[in-house]
Chains A and B, each alone.
Chain A
Amino acid sequence: MDALASYTGLEFAKWVLAPGKWAASRVSSFWDRYVYFVGVREENDSLRASLAEATQELVLLREKAAEAERLARILTIRPPVGWSRQGARVVSHRLGPNASLETVLLDKGVLDGLEVNTPVTGPDGVIGRILRLSPTAATVLLVTDPNSRIPVTSQKNRTQGIIKGEGANREMVVQYVALGAPLEEGELLVTSGLEEIFPKGLPVARVTEVGRKGPSLFQTVYAEPLFDARRLEEVALLARNPQEGRAQAEPGQGGVAGQKEPVADPISHSPSTKVVPPDPSGRAPGLEPPRPAPAPGTERKKPPRSGP
């Protein structure tokens, strides 16, 4: 009887309890997994948020790295002897219905010591000159504008001409290059300094085509600018130093592209502050120097404010 009870009652109880146990274990397991997945989901959401933050931070850091690279390139611009450099940001390009000339708007103005015709350069060469000023902003006439004309000299053959813009995204024209004058394609054109606005020796453009058209007494020369106006973000502004005469007398104070003089350490020049050379009078460097007082008889006349 005992065995019969074991074989029946016990077996019955097992068959009754086992599925229940199995079901309970499945339900329990399911519940555990559900709870676990809820946790995973929460963790997933949290990780997603962290990833988004990290991605955003990465984008910001990449942007800062690119900016640092651009600023470092600006710092490589060596101010010529007797000139100082300060950086400026491009706020906007042509603005409004009256902006007929190829211009950009900078975030520096009269309060930063700028004047009309202040030369504006980039890491690769001349960008333009100040056309219009307000207390904290300035409009720059780009060298690619058809109304911009700069006397230039070819770096290798020293052939002179006047470079004229032809508009945005177009090659520039070098005028008045005599027929016999040597000039090579790929040659760099640098400022000659004859107009007394730009320092001598700043790169302006690269010759792309030299030829002759019709019965002209001059060669037809085309050149490409050394910057892309659409990608301009930071520029350097050059200003004459009051110690110009002294600096010229002392060798080794700086130089420009195409010249062989040793230069001051460009890293010591912050792009956001006025840069001055070491002052023998002991004044702290980095402070804005007094306005240059031109020597008697050497003061240059400024063109009309509204003219390019």
Chain B
Amino acid sequence: MNAFAIAFWSMFTLAGVWLQGIIPGVDFLAPGLILCLQEEKWTVSAWLGLAWLFIQEGTGSLAFGTGLLWYGALVGLYYFGHWLFEAKNFLFMFILGICLGVLHLVLSHVMAVLQDWTLPADRILVEGLLQALIFPVEWGLVYLIYNHLPENPHAV
């Protein structure tokens, strides 16, 4: 990983955390994990995924394990989906976004039941919809930016 890639992922993480503060309930780091799996070595994805997992678990209010299930399911869906679709296809990302939106509903509900909590269903539904819409758009943007980085073998 070169210096530009390090700077890119650092900036991406900072921007993601800021955006999560602006639009609560939406994961702005998940598209980065998919891009990382597509473009970087698996070790880079593993380290970044671990760092983002701790960010999500630390800032969240659900019990530890929710983030693990969230990113685990995302990676699983990606590896399952890229057998069927072209991995860098926007349609695939769109479907992945919808899956994440549904996963947000299911995971929040299950974890709330397990912890004997009550969550407002309407708010979780809106968050799921936002996640489904934002995920493919954000992936497209960061994909374009990443592939325009200097010293990138794929740079345009």
Contacts and interface: CB of A to CB of B under 8 A. Distances in A.
Interface string A75-102: 0000000000000000011111111110
A305 to B, nearest CB: 10
A147 B63 CA distance: 14
Contact of A93 (B21, B112, B131): B21
B49 interface: no
A214 interface: no
A100 B60 contact: yes
Contact of B63 (A92, A103, A139, A306): A306
Contacts of A168: 123
A307 B108 CA distance: 15
Contact of B61 (A139, A146, A167): A139
Contacts of B67: 98
A50 interface: no
Contacts of B111: 100
A97 B64 contact: no
A307 B61 contact: no
B64 A167 contact: no
A141 B62 CA distance: 12
A269 interface: no
Contact of A100 (B21, B70, B117): B117
Interface string B1-41: 00000000000000001001100111100000000000000
Contact of B117 (A132, A134, A147): A147
Interface in B36-88: 55-64, 66-67, 70
Given A146-B118, A146-B119, A306-B115, A98 B124 contact: no
Nearest to B27: A97
Interface in A138-180: 139, 141, 146-147, 167-168
Contact of B24 (A94, A132, A147): A94
Chain A CB within 10 Å, residue with most, of B20, B26, B66, B118: B118
Interface in A98-140: 98-101, 103, 105, 131-132, 134, 139
B117 A101 contact: yes
Interface residues of A, number: 24
Chain B interface category by residue count: 20 to 34
A150 B21 CA distance: 28
Contacts of A306: 63-64, 115
B127 to A, nearest CB: 7
Contacts of B27: 96-97
Nearest to A134: B58
A146 B117 CA distance: 8
Contacts of B153: none
Nearest to B124: A100
B30 to A, nearest CB: 8
Nearest to B103: A97
Given A147-B117, A147-B118, A308-B117, A95 B24 contact: yes
A307 B59 CA distance: 15
B118 A96 contact: no
A94 B108 CA distance: 14
Contacts of A131: 61
Interface string B107-145: 010011001011110011001000100000000000000
B20 to A, nearest CB: 5
Contacts of A146: 117-120
A97 B21 contact: no
Given A146-B118, A307-B115, A100 B61 contact: yes
9 contacts: A94-B24, A95-B60, A96-B27, A97-B25, A97-B60, A100-B25, A100-B61, A139-B59, A168-B123
Interface of B: 17, 20-21, 24-27, 55-64, 66-67, 70, 104, 108, 111-112, 115, 117-120, 123-124, 127, 131
- 3 smallest CB-CB distances across A and B, nearest first, come from A98-B60, A94-B24, A101-B61
Given A95-B21, A99-B60, A131-B61, 11 more contacts: A96-B55, A97-B27, A97-B104, A98-B56, A98-B60, A98-B66, A99-B24, A100-B61, A100-B108, A167-B120, A167-B123
